Amino acid sequence: AQSVSQHNHHVILSEAASLELGCNYSYGGTVNLFWYVQYPGQHLQLLLKYFSGDPLVKGIKGFEAEFIKSKFSFNLRKPSVQWSDTAEYFCAVNERYGNKLVFGAGTILRVKS
């Protein structure tokens, strides 16, 4: 079965620090890749997605992610975090013609002001 690994469960950063959250998946075929974010008390919402084309995708709020097929990775980055980025971040993968998303365990990011 497909699995998704997120490398860190908790990350604490100061404002203006750079962020990189790791995500690796196990499926060897063609996949769609997603990062979702859940701000405190809010719905899970889509941050960015990759289906095909340019492996560097840009999402909302200055986030970007890079798909590296050879490493089965889809790491999330932001050059300078803000206090408002405090949230839980989930990486998710589905097979190209499948309905189901497989989620990682999540990374809780706390940004200190």
> Closest approach of Cβ 46 to other proteins, in Å?
5
Handedness of CA 14, 15, 17, 22 (dihedral sign): positive
**Positions in the binding site for other proteins (CB under 8 A):** 1, 4, 6, 9, 32, 34, 36, 42-46, 49, 51, 90, 92, 94-106
Smallest distance, Å, CB 9 to other proteins? 6
Residue 5 or 17: which CB sits closer to other proteins?
5
CB of 24 to other proteins, least distance (A): 14
Select 18 or 26, whichever has its Cβ closest to other proteins. Answer: 26
